[in-house]
Structure 1
Amino acid sequence: MTEARRRWPKLDPDSGVEDVTLLILEWLGEQGVGAMIRVDAERMREGRPAWTFAAGGGPLAGGLRADGASVAQCMGRALHRLREAGLDVPF
């Protein structure tokens, strides 16, 4: 895995954040942050935002959560909150 840290892919500006979600999770893990993204089938059936991102530990002072109706919306909100918390996520 140490080699992967040095070879981040060049991103297509037309692709969405969902294309790099796993890379973001891996980067967070390398920073000592535990993170996950999940989908809740019950909330999806009810028409509520079904996607949840959660992170904590490492340089984060407290837990962080973001919800969205899609992966892109959820991760967009998560990236915004991570940056507000002081993490310079390279995506």
Structure 2
Amino acid sequence: MTANRGRWPKIDQDSGVEDAVLLILEWLSEQGMGAMIRVDAERLQDQKPAWTFTAGGGPLIRPMRADGATAHECLSLALVYLREAGVDVPY
């Protein structure tokens, strides 16, 4: 969740963020950050958000994590969280 009173951030459903994931990961690495996205089949079977994005290092004060039911949701939340942490990903 974000600092906006415990509400989930609104994500752009039509952004096509999953098409840019490799560019985003490459840009983050150029900023000195380690990042990854993964899907967990066991979490999917348990009906939990199966997609996870994590990032740390570089300008981040502490590591961050975003989970989502789809790759799009996961990456969109990750971009919101990164921007809130002061990392303005050029996407």
User: Structure 1-normalised TM-score?
Assistant: 0.83
Counterpart position of 2:85? 85
Gaps of 5+ in 1: 1-13
Aligned residues: 78
Counterpart position of 2:56? 56
Does 2:10 align with 1:26? no
- Bigger Rg, structure 1 or 2: 1
**TM superposition shift of 1:16:** 1.0
**TM superposition shift of 1:20:** 0.2
Gaps of 5+ in 2: 1-13
Q: Give the ranges of 4+ consecutive aligned residues of structure 1 lying more than 2 Å apart after TM superposition.
A: none
- Measured in 2, the distance between the counterparts of 1:23 and 1:88 equals 14
Bigger RCO (CA 8 Å, 6+ sep): 2
Provide, for residues 13-48 of structure 1, a one-character-per-residue CA deviation record: whole Å limited to 9, x for no partner. x65100001110000000000000000110011111
User: Structure 2-normalised TM-score?
Assistant: 0.83
RMSD: 1.0
Counterpart position of 2:42? 42
- Measured in 2, the distance between the counterparts of 1:58 and 1:24 equals 14
Q: How does 1:62-81 map to 2 (within 5 A)?
A: 62-81=62-81
- Measured in 2, the distance between the counterparts of 1:15 and 1:31 equals 23
Q: 1:15 to 1:85 in 2, by over 3 A?
A: closer
